[in-house]
Amino acid sequence: MSDEEIGRGLVRGDEQCLALAHRRWSRLVHTLAARVLGDAREAEDVTQQVFLSAWRGRAGYRPERGPVPAWLVGIARRKTADALTARTRRLDLVAAAGAALQTAVTAQGDPERVLDRIVVTRELARLPRDQRDVLTLAFFGDLTQVQIAHRTGLPLGTVKSHARRGLQRMRRGLAAEG
């Protein structure tokens, strides 16, 4: 069956065309998602979401505007972006929870430590999101750079660069304040 026939079948609601599209192009969708996300399991979820969205939105597919694989790649890009956004939200929640927990623990102790924590938290907030996320996971989550790379899907070298640049920016900011 040709790509055009699969596309027309999808628009008509032919489930066999959906199954055929999945067999032909799920590997392409999965590969694209895995490259962006850096996590095969998360890419599997995105792949399922892409084909589910394609099925639900099949009435909006216009074969004259492009072939089925291009349409699926467009859906995959949006679903991958959604997955990255969700990951960032999860990391922000983890970082906020870790910061709140640490603040509660240190509030019972030395007032100087509490003040230091406030200053450091303010400097962290000034960092770009990637650097802030890495440093928050390192200090509040007590994760190694390898663990951070695994959890975020970032390459280890990128995690190390974000940590180094973030610490340098924090050092300059704290030095400027005296």
Is residue 116 scored above 80 in pLDDT? no
Looking at every residue in the chain, the average pLDDT score rounds to: 83
Q: Are the beta carbons of 84 and 76 closer than 8 angstroms?
A: no
Q: What is the pTM of this model?
A: 0.53
Q: What CATH class is the domain 109-177?
A: mainly alpha
Torsion sign (Cα): 36, 41, 44, 50:
negative
Question: How far is residue 82 CA from its own chain's centroid?
Answer: 8
Is residue 174 within 8 A of residue 118, CB to CB? The reply is: no
Q: Tell me, which fold does domain 3-84 have in CATH?
A: Rna Polymerase Sigma Factor; Chain: A (1.10.1740)
CATH topology match: 3-84 vs 109-177: no
pLDDT digit string (tens) for 79-94? 988 888 877 776 666 6
Q: Average pLDDT for residues 132-154, to the nearest whole number?
A: 84
State the amino acid at position 66 in one-letter form: G
Q: Where are the beta strands (DSSP E) in the chain?
A: none
151: which residues sit within 8 A by CB, 6+ positions away?
137, 143
What are the domain boundaries of the chain? 3-84, 109-177
